């Protein structure tokens, strides 16, 4: 499939009215054809109008049609074959195996959302029916019904570090489409070609199923203007964004809107690793090796990369640092996702290393070509860590900080001072359980996901998985698991005047729940 550099506006493909830009091939440090053109204000407005016009028709379709749409998108992505894999490798510098795995994950996510939608109402629609109490004194209660309905068109922002799984057809897009919300996607400028290919797969799926035009649009933009226009557009009441500092800036724009809107942004996390004393003494070599593997995975460009290690000073921590130094010295430098990300990592890592009381502990092998990241681990003590807020800031890339504490009290003080995180990990043995129990109440309030004796750089796609956390890890931690799917929905309560017999039903549809004709047909999900 030949790339065009065009926007996708409903059923049409057209050149954007804004400035042109190129994707870069980070491993070669050179631009990639074709030229892409940013959406201008008129393009953004048209995409939002098409989404609004499609909304009522799309949400009224049977749930099975939504499920078919998600399934067909996955099939079309697979049908792109090598053209998608090759372009994604070129635009990101990621190895082919990683991209192939991410494609499988993306298709799997779409299939999981489709399966939940296909099962129907009770679970998916969060349907509740309270039977009428006509004899209640002093006042009778009418029949009450509630279920989730789609919020409206949703804006989705592609991620820099996951060109497929958290991008045009990623989790946010699947969630919104499953809930009955049309989407307007802002492609990440680091991989616009990959985004166009996936966008055309979605457009093709919509056309194959004769869905309303406007259920999907794709916008390009090399700067911030397109995203800012989407966040402030009055026809887009829902937003989902994935990745980093711009999330906070766009959240500020969303909060200044006249009408508040839900805004889901993942922004910053250092994913602390807490090495409790017995585990550290018994497994220092193993922990050091596994930590290096986690830190250097995808050149540290996972949002769950372990950016902080907390432990008590002593012989065990000294041994851990020695093993870490020897292991990291063997880690080769590797190409980062883009020149911009490489520059941001280089500057943040240098700034962290320059903080008073911080020293270089270990380094990976030197770089061999442009835009490569050389892994590094720094060290400081508990007093400096507690006194310097900059030491708790994320460095997105292959850099981490080890902190040695004088005693349990100083360690617990540092844990209480942590900001919200995506993940927190306790490494412990049986003798560490009493200390872990004292830490747990604080840890539960600091992270969306707690791990024990693991490392956080694997995020499974499943019903119980949480990929979110307290601010500033995310802007809203209440619905960041697989069940975020119903998040772009609001509750609706109906009180019909005619009250008929309420039936029990394991899987009511939205029509079952909201049917108020003569009060007949109301159903209630099984508890």
SS3 annotation, 227-281: HHHHHHCCCCCEEEEECCHHHHHHHHHHHCCCCCCCEEEECCCCCCEEECHHHHH
For residue 238, the 8-state DSSP code is: E
Q: Which of 147, 181, 303, 321 is catalytic?
A: 303
For residue 474, the 8-state DSSP code is: B
250 half-sphere exposure, CB direction, 13 A CA radius: 33
Closest CA to 164 of 131, 206, 203, 193: 193
Closest CA to 321 of 358, 284, 270: 284
Q: What is the Cα–Cα distance from 391 to 404, expressed in whole angstroms?
A: 13
Closest CA to 143 of 520, 527, 475, 463: 520
Q: What is the Cα–Cα distance from 489 to 179, expressed in whole angstroms?
A: 7
Q: Are 450 and 424 in contact (CB under 8 A)?
A: yes
Q: What angle do CA 350, 353, 354 make, to 5 degrees?
A: 85
Number of neighbouring beta carbons within 10 Å of residue 137: 6
| Buried-state track 97-132, b at ≥16 Cβ within 10 A, e below 16 | ebbbebbebbbebbbbbbebbbebbbebbbbebeeb
Q: What is the Cα–Cα distance from 131 to 315, expressed in whole angstroms?
A: 66
Q: Are 300 and 335 in contact (CB under 8 A)?
A: no
Structure tokens belonging to residue 136 = 């209640």
Q: Are 160 and 397 in contact (CB under 8 A)?
A: no
Q: What is the Cα–Cα distance from 108 to 116, expressed in whole angstroms?
A: 13
Q: Are 203 and 169 in contact (CB under 8 A)?
A: no
Structure tokens belonging to residue 403 = 């902190």
Q: Which helix or strand (DSSP H or E) is residue 321 part of?
A: helix 315-328
Residue listed under structure tokens 């009450």: 144
Q: Are 445 and 419 in contact (CB under 8 A)?
A: no
Active site residue 266: yes
Q: Per-residue DSSP letters for 334-356?
A: EE-S-HHHHHHHHHHHHHHHTST
Q: What is the Cα–Cα distance from 15 to 36, expressed in whole angstroms?
A: 8
Active site residue 321: no
Q: Which of 266, 321, 489, 505 is catalytic?
A: 266
| Buried-state track 486-502, b at ≥16 Cβ within 10 A, e below 16 | bbbbeeeebebeebbeb
Structure tokens belonging to residue 121 = 């109402």
Cβ-Cβ contacts under 8 Å for 150 (sequence gap 6 or more)? 55, 59, 179, 180, 181, 488, 489
Question: Which residues carry out catalysis?
Answer: 266, 303
């Amino acid at each position: 499939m030949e790339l065009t550099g065009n926007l996708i506006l409903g059923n049409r493909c057209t050149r954007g009215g804004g400035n042109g830009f190129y994707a870069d091939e980070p491993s070669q440090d050179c631009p990639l054809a074709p030229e892409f053109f940013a959406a201008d204000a008129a393009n953004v407005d048209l995409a939002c109008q098409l989404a609004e016009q499609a909304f009522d028709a799309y949400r009224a379709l049977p749930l099975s049609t939504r499920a078919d749409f998600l399934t067909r998108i996955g099939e079309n992505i697979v049908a792109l074959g090598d053209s998608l894999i090759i372009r994604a490798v070129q635009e990101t510098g990621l190895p082919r195996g990683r991209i192939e795995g991410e494609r499988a994950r993306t298709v799997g996510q779409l299939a999981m959302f489709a399966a939940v939608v296909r099962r129907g109402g009770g679970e998916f629609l969060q349907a509740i029916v309270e039977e009428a109490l006509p004899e209640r004194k002093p006042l009778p209660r009418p029949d009450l019904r509630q279920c989730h309905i789609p919020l409206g068109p949703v804006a989705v922002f592609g991620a820099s570090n996951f060109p497929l799984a958290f991008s045009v057809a990623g989790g946010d897009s699947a969630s919104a489409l499953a809930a009955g919300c049309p989407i307007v996607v802002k492609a990440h400028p680091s991989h616009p070609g990959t985004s166009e290919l996936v966008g055309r797969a979605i457009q093709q799926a919509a056309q194959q199923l004769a869905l309303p035009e406007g259920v999907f649009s794709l916008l390009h933009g090399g700067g911030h203007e397109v995203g800012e226009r989407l966040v402030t557009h009055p026809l887009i009441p829902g937003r989902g964004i994935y990745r980093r500092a711009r999330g906070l800036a766009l959240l500020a724009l969303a909060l200044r809107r006249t009408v508040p809107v839900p805004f889901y942004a993942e922004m910053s996390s250092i994913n602390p690793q807490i090495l409790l004393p017995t585990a550290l003494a018994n497994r220092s070599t193993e922990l050091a090796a596994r930590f290096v593997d986690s830190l250097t995975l995808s050149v540290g460009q996972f949002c769950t990369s372990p950016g902080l290690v907390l432990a008590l000073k002593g012989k065990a921590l000294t041994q851990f640092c020695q093993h870490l130094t020897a292991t990291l010295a063997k880690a080769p430098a590797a190409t980062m996702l883009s020149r911009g990300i490489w520059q941001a990592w280089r500057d943040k890592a240098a700034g962290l290393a320059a903080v008073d009381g911080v020293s270089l502990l270990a380094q990976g092998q030197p770089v061999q070509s442009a835009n490569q990241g050389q892994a590094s681990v720094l060290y400081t003590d508990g007093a400096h860590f507690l006194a310097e807020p900059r030491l708790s800031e994320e460095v997105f890339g292959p850099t981490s900080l080890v902190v040695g504490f004088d005693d349990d009290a100083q360690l617990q003080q540092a844990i209480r001072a942590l900001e919200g995180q995506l993940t927190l990990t306790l490494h412990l043995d049986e003798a560490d359980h009493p200390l872990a129990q004292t830490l747990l109440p604080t840890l539960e309030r600091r992270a969306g996901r707690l791990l024990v004796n693991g490392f956080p750089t694997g995020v499974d796609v499943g019903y119980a998985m949480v990929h979110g956390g307290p601010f500033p890890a995310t802007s809203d931690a209440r619905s960041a698991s697989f069940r975020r799917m119903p998040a772009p929905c609001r509750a609706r309560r109906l009180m019909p005047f005619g009250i008929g017999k309420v039936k029990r039903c394991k899987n009511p549809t939205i029509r079952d729940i909201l049917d108020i004709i003569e009060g007949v047909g109301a159903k209630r999900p099984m508890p």
